[in-house]
Structure 1
């Protein structure tokens, strides 16, 4: 395919035309295309093949039984058409392929009889049954089709393979001059990529396996590159907001760190330096702080808050639940008490009079740190001088909620925190618009959680062990995947387990119940009772995955553990080991697949959340690991960010290289790219 170049005014506008413009697309067919998520010409061209059938000819002796193959030979018997059943036909003839006389059958393609003559040279593609020397024909090939690759598409009952292929062929013929290059020529040359025109033809109508592979490689890179351009543009737009230089008092910050009753880990020191360096810059900070359970993120956040305090600025911390907000208020209140940083808590439960006083003190600058839930982003919240906004467990908040937090002050710096370790693969895809700091080291002296995987027949032993631990003053979690019985899944459920454990432990020990169908106030009440040791055993669903520290809880038993992903199991395990007691996690599971066994073995092999997150990603894929779609995380059509991580990183570097150039969008090789991005960025800005 010849190499075309972008013209100065080239822009892929026509590809946004509706597929209605193609001949043969009426109302019924249009609806069928819509069901395949095909609305525009570009959607149609981006409906890439799932795989290819190799139409290159073989000899019967080279062909395996049941293999799809193309035989080229001479029609050695007159084609005979017979009918059976309602509108059903069978066409039979023999094909002489060198010395082998193959019996060929075509079902329900009666029109082929007129295309075949005795002693005619033809090529037939079908499924070969070696023992009977028969070929179940799929199609008759023209001479120029032999040695091609045939694309196999994700079709439907409404839109069949041949219809989809015909429409793609028509679209390529009509719009091929509009397939201008989105990847700049210099980058295509660097990575030996095809032009966009050659890519589409190579994907849909390859002449060889190598051409199909090169086209797929180019299509994957283009998809990653466009995604990374969007991510980097989002980051630039964010940085271009008028940020605030938080000129903190570095000697005071260093002196405050010296007063801490423990030494920061090297990882904590590193991320503190990254965060405060960002804060000092006049550009807006948008940073994600990720660290494993117990790695000391709260201390890092506290030091960023103190830095803002020394600069005369206020800070806000937003948590997803009231009880988590209360925990932060107590922890940070104690932390800052000697430093005279005033901390206040504002939630939906704050009484009206107290709320009025907090709002007044917030507006006049008397409050240095306000901690709360969604109550922090109400319209009547007015800060005197907000410089830093922190979001805890940021994945619990939507994009619009995070944007609202930024709007309540004069565009404060944003620090988002998550206890979910994110493999680099997902970090550069789902959080590509943020800078990322990682705490990959646990504080000294923290006892590792002893984890054991046991079969279901060992359940009674574990319950007895929990009883022994309760007798020493400890508390325990028991986690189950379902709330009520399900005929579809043979799993334990919270209500049944709760009732059984009440019989076992009461009246000496109290058992509580926590599940997702409770409202927030009910959940907070149960967690408060557990934290204050009113319950010694808490039966819960995964609502405790991210939650309150209960230092006294040292045993975690997870029933049907093979029903959970590795990341979720690790988060659950992290609910224990928060205090000085030796802590234990028991995974009760009878996995029926190798996949389930591998997860249980991985959990007992390591307590490193980042190692487990990568393993989870390899076993389950990006969609299941992330859960709900994160900001900007697309469903890649052809590229695989897990398998093709190096390509994704190369695309990220290329996008940064393009945007680093002054007036990048005015360069001739970038004009089509710039126009394409300007047409599609709006949905990324508004994604939630």
Structure 2
């Protein structure tokens, strides 16, 4: 029996090579093919020649009435000319430098041509030719994102074949009540009109249905995960309140009101009998680490272990070093588990973790390896959580008996988008900086004034400050005319010698080399650290007060904000200098935004407006979906409505027993999610 889960190899003419080519577009099944939607459409509606204006782009449909005339002139230059009858008129059509079209020009054939109209000569200089056979009479032609392996025509033909062969087994997933309420198409019609619309109105209506369906199904999965977590017997962590209060009182600073609020939210979750699943957002330098430390301490007072997973060894090492100081003199025993341990060290550490001798385990993804067994894991924290895939986070969660989960991110996400995108999580926000922190002064400097930045840096160094200098590349690139870290290091070393030491840090260095450079920088042996974006996350030196970013327009706003956050971590005034000559309006807007505000949430909102959600929310593996149709920013209202509808549906008693909901029950089962939550 036919199924949308059939391989594309079931289609006529699709052999192993074509299967492999389609896989480069992430098309493996018939459903993948049918939901590989167009990025835009060409409008093939014919233009009325009586109203066509000179130099206007027009579309003509007619019958070929002359043999093609093909002539060459100059190097690789050629012209293809033929006549078509359009109504009562005969029009000359000319194509330049498209010799392969000659095969499609046959006497009496019906064609559609698009191009620029020459009213005086009554002829068209065309750039596109569509035969009626490939257009099938539709006036609105789909254009797909393709690559070197698959051509537009091939993809279009395969989608048509798949629709004709499988249209009768396309299930409508959305319940009738929702389709009626929002006047949406059934799924078969939606897929047909997405690929082969008769006009712009039908294409728009199909896209509206596809957007809602995509958001609704995504939210249904998130809400199902959320309800499963809430139903599961979590680890009830009955921490010792007096000990926790004593620990907080012993900190060398007062918590901000925002930190106190968030600590209360987390501690309340720890005591509940179901699994905590909370996202902790806080701007760079807002004090997320100390909030995490309090949650860890509370967990350990109740006799449980805590694990903290960081995306890089540098960040894991820094967390271990910082938390070892915070917990000095307490009953918290810290272990650092990374890939660079010797076999003996690794074995001894695993034994100590299994016995429970170490109750705070910090590491990279090494924490989720099969050989890591925890004695009594109660709390899991992932830092910079958007850098981990959903599967990695799930693996860590499964290491204990439903441990509580706290995910932290310093990538500010506008609250509405955070709540909607991380729909399966509760969201806490630290929206306040610690007292005494001075806002970082940011200045945009043009490339020709680079010496101004270096003079300023020399003045700051003379007062005992240290600085980061960031370059987008490690070594010289012929394709990009940008400063590179190696050259920059050599230039600055020569510029500042012998008074100040310059160091170099980049991603191709070994872990030991990076650690050595960072230690020298922290200890003050290096005054200027030239680096790539390795320093973007987590690197902490309170004495560093200057951040200079070369070719700053090459970075996104979120990344610039992260880099700026490496300074301003002490009591002294800090500065960020952006050296850039942006060529685009967006590049200029990014520089202006950085100068105008140090508020990460405002920066994130602007980033959303300029570049969409992808850069804010991380790459495809982040757990944030790569939506095929919907835009979480532009279609935010639809996304929020879909979230509400999905939550309401799952809240209905015995929702999965109704006939109308059976396609959704099957959909969730296919995604290995439970459907019965009563």
Quick check: 1:415 aligned with 2:406?
yes
Report the secondary structure of 2:620's partner residue: coil
CA distance in 2, matches of 1:356, 1:79: 82
Deviations 1:339-377, CA, capped at 9 Å, x for gaps: x34332434577999988876765665655344455655
Q: Please point out which of 507, 511, 523 is paired with 2:502.
A: 511
Q: How does 1:345-356 map to 2 (within 5 A)?
A: 345-347=335-337
Higher deviation after alignment, 537-546 or 612-621:
612-621
Match of 2:468 in 1: 477
Matched, 1:206 2:197: yes
The aligned counterpart of 1:68 is: 58
Asked whether 1:81 is paired with 2:67, we answer yes
CA distance in 2, matches of 1:192, 1:467: 66
Matched, 1:501 2:487: no
Aligned to 1:230, the other structure's residue is in SS state: helix
2:214 to 223, 227, 248: 223
Q: Is the aligned partner of 1:304 residue 2:290? A: no
Which of 16, 30, 35 is the equivalent residue of 1:41? Answer: 30
Structure 2 CA distance for partners of 1:383 and 1:31, relative to 1, 3 Å: closer
Asked if 1:573 is matched to 2:564, the reply is: yes
- Distance (whole Å) between structure 1 residues aligned to residue 452 and residue 104 of structure 2: 70
Query: In the TM superposition, what whole-angstrom CA distance separates every residue of 1:189-248 from its partner, at most 9, and x where no partner exists?
Result: 232211112212222332332222111110111122222223333444444554211123
**CA–CA separation in structure 2 for the residues paired with 1:159 and 1:512:** 47
CA distance in 2, matches of 1:207, 1:577: 58
What is the aligned partner in structure 2 of residue 59 from structure 1? 48
Give the conservation status (yes or no) of the 8 Å contact 1:342–1:366.
Answer: no
Secondary structure of residue in 2 paired with 1:444? coil
Deviation at residue 32 of structure 1 after TM alignment: 6.0
The structure 2 residue matched to 1:129, chosen from 100, 103, 117, is 117
Distance in 2 between residues matched to 1:13 and 1:424, nearest whole Å:
44
Query: Quick check: 1:188 aligned with 2:179?
Result: yes
Select 2:334's aligned residue among 331, 339, 344: 344
Deviation at 1:598, TM superposition (A): 1.4
Cα 1:292–1:205 shift into 2, 3 Å: same
Alpha-carbon distance in 2 for matches of 1:450, 1:81? 71
Q: Is the 8 A contact 1:81 1:110 kept in 2?
A: no
SS in 2 for 1:294: coil
1:257-296 aligned at under 5 Å gives the runs 257-258=248-249, 260-296=251-287
Asked if 2 retains the 8 angstrom alpha-carbon contact of 1:346 and 1:355, the reply is no
Q: Select between 251-260 and 511-520 the one with higher mean Cα deviation.
A: 251-260
Moved more, 655-664 or 313-322: 313-322
Could you tell me how far apart the structure 2 residues matched to 1:464 and 1:36 are? 51
Matched, 1:544 2:535: yes
What's the CA shift string for 1:369-412, capped at 9, x where partnerless? 34445565566655443311223333454555544433443332
Which runs of 5 or more residues in structure 1 are unaligned?
A: 1-11, 117-122, 683-688
Q: Mean Cα displacement is larger for which, 45-54 or 278-287?
A: 45-54
Quick one: structure 1 residues 295 and 177, their matched pair in 2 at CA, closer, same or farther if it must change by over 3 Å? same
Output the CA distance in 2 between the equivalents of 1:391 and 1:36.
31
Q: Does 1:520 align with 2:506?
A: no
Report the secondary structure of 1:193's partner residue. coil
Residues 394 and 417 in structure 1, CA contact (< 8 A), matched pair in contact too: yes
Question: 2:234 and 2:375 mapped to 1: Cα distance?
Answer: 16
Matched residue, 1:245:
236
Asked if 1:643 is matched to 2:634, the reply is yes
- What is the CA distance between 1:59 and its match in structure 2? 2.6
Separation in 2 of the partners of 1:188 and 1:197? 13
* Counterpart for residue 91 of structure 2: 103
Instruction: Please say which structure displays the higher CA radius of gyration.
Output: 1
C-alpha displacement at 1:152, in angstroms?
A: 3.8
| 3-state DSSP of counterpart to 1:92 | strand
Q: CA 1:159–1:531 in structure 2 vs 1: closer, same or farther (change >3 Å)?
A: closer
Q: Is it true that 1:387 corresponds to 2:357 in the alignment?
A: no
Structure 2 residue runs without a partner (length 5+): 73-77, 95-100, 674-678
Contact 1:343/1:371 (CA < 8 Å) preserved in 2? no
State the distance in 2 between where 1:174 and 1:485 align.
53
Task: Please state if 1:677 is matched with 2:663.
Answer: no
Distance 2:578 2:79 in 1: 57
CA distance in 2, matches of 1:429, 1:384: 35
Assess if the C-alpha contact under 8 Å between 1:89 and 1:110 holds in 2. Answer: no
Q: Contact 2:337–2:349 at 8 Å: present in 1 too?
A: no
Contact map agreement 1:429 1:633 (CA 8 A) in 2: no
Distance 1:320 1:80 in 2: 66
CA distance in 1, matches of 2:557, 2:505: 22
Q: Identify which range, 262-271 or 414-423, moves more after superposition.
A: 262-271
Deviation at 1:640, TM superposition (A): 1.8
Preserved CA contact (<8 Å) 2:333 2:357: no
Equivalent residues, number:
656
User: Displacement of 1:316 after TM fit?
Assistant: 2.9
The structure 2 residue matched to 1:492, chosen from 472, 483, 496, is 483
* Structure 2 equivalent of residue 7 of structure 1: none
Q: Are residue 50 (structure 1) and residue 36 (structure 2) matched? A: no
